[in-house]
With several copies, the nearest count.
Chain A
Amino acid sequence: MNTPPPAAAAARPDLAVTIAGIQMQNPVTVASGTFGYGKEYAHLVDLRQLGAITVKGIRLQPWDGNPLPRHVEVPGGMVNAIGLQGPGVAGFIRDYLPFLREVGVPVLVNIWGTSVEEYAEVAERLSDVEGIAGLEVNISCPNVKEGGASFGADPRTVAALVAAVRRRTRLPLIPKLAPNVPNIRPYAQAAAEAGADALSLINTIPAMVINIETRRPVLANKVGGLSGPAIHPVAVKLVWDAAQAVKIPIIAMGGITGPEQAIEFLIAGASAVAVGTATFIDPGTVLRVIAGIEDYLVRHQIQRVRDLTGSLLTT
């Protein structure tokens, strides 16, 4: 006899998503640069519960980043100019990857370079290594003079960069787009057409804070990037716009402090989300977001989180 399961014993909703071929147990990762290499938060956050771990941006060689101060608090968030300090590809593989492999959740490596060739080489070098699920290609960091944002400023340079990296790796490629554009669509389309498997957005918004007593920029780098709750409504708009323009999935970030903001992103069209600045204030945020999405699905009787993606009603 075929008895249907009793309605009361509602199945737990399915949180799993597949982004760019990467299977995530839930749609929540951490934003690059806000979670170190995973290890740093291992005492406070059960890493095995994350959908993925996205690590701090790395280039080919070790990189010092900017002088201090590298951050300043502002209403609704912070402005940072870390400047992509990192151990380089070899250092990352040697010092951090073994630990991450043990955790057992997909690892997304955020990469950058000062030339198209460097991006491509970083990608290639990471392709042969075990334990890397995909590459988030940072073409929008406002905090380094060469590289970073300059590649993200024009759809043509985005296309050229993504295509060049695409030729050198089979790993899923997830370009991370800049928020400060008149219209995100041509950028998203350029990346998709050049072979991107997914998109990440948004990076921090270029910003500056001046100490009016000394009349100097507070950050040693003069300018930095704004992150935190202040940028969330801006990010939702960009995610919605991008989701209209391309079919590839979107990993959304910018100002998530709890499940509500993450759910907004999913409804706007994101397939996954990343928690950034909020981790600094409450390392438990990322787990709270996962649990809160699940609760929301139960409450709204939505079986699969992927059915929430792009479910915005506009009529």
Chain B
Amino acid sequence: MHDISAIVHAQHVLNAGYQCLVLDAPAIASMAQPGQFVHLRITGLEPAALRRPFSIYRASDSQLSILYKTVGRGTEQLSRLRPGDTLTAMGPLGNGFPLETHDRWPVLVAGGYGVAPLSFLARRLNRQGMLLVGGRTAADILCTEEFTALGWDVRVATMDGSQGTHGLVTTLLDAWLARPGHPAATFYACGPDGMLRAVAERAQLAGSPAWLSLDKHMVCGVGACLACVQRLRKPDGTTWIARVCRDGPIFEAGEIVWEHPR
């Protein structure tokens, strides 16, 4: 893990509100695993501004990319950086997704920018699978061509019906699960909490493992401040409090003790 000055190599606009930032950061990029993240100190925010965490979307030996949505002052400032500008990047952080699928079919479930770490995962998995991707509207659906190009089965749902099926991404998941004789799956999911929880419930019913990437507000990114905790259940039934930044952000769905049981 490193904390280094990285140079902006490129900044691409993807859909409206979404951009891809490419950084020259070999020390981090060369070690990055899918599901890991970088913690960025964004140049131009006042010196006391906290860092912002972003999943790694692409990594080569020398460069790494993030795919981000502009949602607040941090990401707004990030979107203003231009090639040649520098920022400080800490990473790779977190545990990453397990790459071993144990002969199960990888089913990736993504909401919004949650597709970023899953896209990286698809490139590093030893087999093809299916991507279920949801968003509010067509602009929130990203990276589908990449998956198609890799030979993945891609299914889209939008809340307003502007692309793919009308509804939540779980509608797609339910339809697929309802089909008799579907193959045994391993789920990998990244998106809002509600979506993760829906995936967890369905995976449990199906008896499938589900690896969820949790999105908790973070401060230190290294496990020191305890801002990002999540209660987990051990196999013996006792619980402990994990730090999402260091012990996660990826957890198996069955471990997670959801906060408001329903």
* A residues apposed to B, CB below 8 Å: 33-36, 40-41, 43-44, 56, 64-65, 67-71, 73, 75-78, 80, 82, 85, 228-230, 257, 277, 279-284
Quick one: which of A65, A76, A82 contacts B48, CB cutoff 8 A? A76
Q: Is the CB of B227 within 8 A of A281?
A: no
User: Is B58 an interface position by the 8 A CB rule?
Assistant: no
- Chain B residues with CB under 8 Å of A78's CB are 50, 219
Quick one: which of B48, B49, B224 contacts A36, CB cutoff 8 A? B224
A67-B259, A71-B217, A75-B48 as given contacts; A34 in contact with B229, CB under 8 Å: no
**Closest CB of chain A to B40's CB: distance in Å?**
11
Known: A34-B225, A44-B90. 8 other contacts (CB 8 A): A36-B224, A40-B220, A43-B222, A44-B222, A69-B217, A80-B227, A228-B48, A281-B49
CB closest chain-B residue, reference A228: B48
> Scoring B residues 235 to 247 as 1 if CB is less than 8 Å from chain A, else 0, what string do you get?
0000001000010
CB closest chain-A residue, reference B217: A69
Q: Is the CB of B220 within 8 A of A73?
A: no
User: Is B183 an interface position by the 8 A CB rule?
Assistant: no
Q: Is the CB of A82 within 8 A of B227?
A: yes
* B residues apposed to A, CB below 8 Å: 1, 3, 41, 46-51, 88, 90, 216-217, 219-220, 222-229, 241, 246, 259
- Chain B residues with CB under 8 Å of A76's CB are 46, 48
**Closest CB of chain A to B80's CB: distance in Å?**
19
Q: Is the CB of A281 within 8 A of B51?
A: yes
Expressed in whole angstroms, the Cα–Cα distance for A73 and B47 within the complex equals 13
**Closest CB of chain A to B260's CB: distance in Å?**
10
Q: Is the CB of A73 within 8 A of B49?
A: yes
CB closest chain-B residue, reference A73: B50
Q: Is the CB of B48 within 8 A of A85?
A: no
Chain A to chain B contacts (Cβ below 8 Å), 18 pairs: A36-B220, A36-B222, A41-B222, A41-B224, A43-B1, A43-B222, A44-B1, A68-B217, A69-B217, A73-B49, A76-B46, A80-B219, A229-B48, A280-B224, A280-B225, A281-B47, A281-B49, A283-B3
- Chain B residues with CB under 8 Å of A257's CB are 47-48
Q: Is the CB of A280 within 8 A of B88?
A: no
> How many A-B contacts if CB must be within 8 Å?
90
Among all A-B residue pairs, the 4 with the closest Cβ atoms: A36-B224, A40-B224, A40-B223, A71-B227
Majority DSSP secondary structure for residues of B touching A: loop
Q: Is the CB of A33 within 8 A of B225?
A: yes
**Closest CB of chain A to B205's CB: distance in Å?**
27
- Chain B residues with CB under 8 Å of A85's CB are 226, 229, 241
CB closest chain-A residue, reference B1: A43
Q: Is the CB of B3 within 8 A of A40?
A: no
- Chain B residues with CB under 8 Å of A44's CB are 1, 3, 90, 222
Q: Is the CB of B49 within 8 A of A68?
A: no
Q: Is the CB of B226 within 8 A of A56?
A: yes
Expressed in whole angstroms, the Cα–Cα distance for A40 and B50 within the complex equals 18
Among B3, B90, B216, B219, max chain A CB count under 10 A is at B219
Q: Is the CB of B222 within 8 A of A40?
A: yes
CB closest chain-B residue, reference A37: B224
Among B49, B216, B224, B246, max chain A CB count under 10 A is at B224
Expressed in whole angstroms, the Cα–Cα distance for A67 and B50 within the complex equals 21
Q: Is the CB of B88 within 8 A of A36?
A: no
Expressed in whole angstroms, the Cα–Cα distance for A138 and B96 within the complex equals 37
Expressed in whole angstroms, the Cα–Cα distance for A68 and B217 within the complex equals 9
- Chain B residues with CB under 8 Å of A229's CB are 47-48
Quick one: which of A69, A73, A228, A281 contacts B41, CB cutoff 8 A? A281
Expressed in whole angstroms, the Cα–Cα distance for A82 and B225 within the complex equals 8
Q: Is the CB of A65 within 8 A of B226?
A: yes
Q: Is the CB of B224 within 8 A of A34?
A: yes
CB closest chain-A residue, reference B52: A73
**Closest CB of chain A to B238's CB: distance in Å?**
11
Expressed in whole angstroms, the Cα–Cα distance for A203 and B1 within the complex equals 31
- Chain A residues with CB under 8 Å of B224's CB are 34-36, 40-41, 279-280
- Chain A residues with CB under 8 Å of B225's CB are 33-34, 36, 71, 80, 82, 280
- Chain B residues with CB under 8 Å of A228's CB are 48
A56-B226, A76-B48 as given contacts; A280 in contact with B241, CB under 8 Å: no
Q: Is the CB of B241 within 8 A of A36?
A: no
- Chain A residues with CB under 8 Å of B50's CB are 73, 78, 280-281
- Chain B residues with CB under 8 Å of A68's CB are 216-217, 227-229
Expressed in whole angstroms, the Cα–Cα distance for A43 and B91 within the complex equals 11
Expressed in whole angstroms, the Cα–Cα distance for A44 and B3 within the complex equals 7
A36-B223, A44-B1, A67-B259 as given contacts; A282 in contact with B41, CB under 8 Å: yes
**Closest CB of chain A to B74's CB: distance in Å?**
9
A40-B220, A281-B41, A283-B3 as given contacts; A70 in contact with B226, CB under 8 Å: yes
CB closest chain-A residue, reference B51: A281
CB closest chain-B residue, reference A84: B226
Expressed in whole angstroms, the Cα–Cα distance for A33 and B47 within the complex equals 21
**Closest CB of chain B to A286's CB: distance in Å?**
12
Expressed in whole angstroms, the Cα–Cα distance for A72 and B216 within the complex equals 12
- Chain A residues with CB under 8 Å of B228's CB are 68
**Closest CB of chain B to A289's CB: distance in Å?**
14
Expressed in whole angstroms, the Cα–Cα distance for A282 and B50 within the complex equals 9
Expressed in whole angstroms, the Cα–Cα distance for A64 and B226 within the complex equals 10
Q: Is the CB of B229 within 8 A of A65?
A: yes
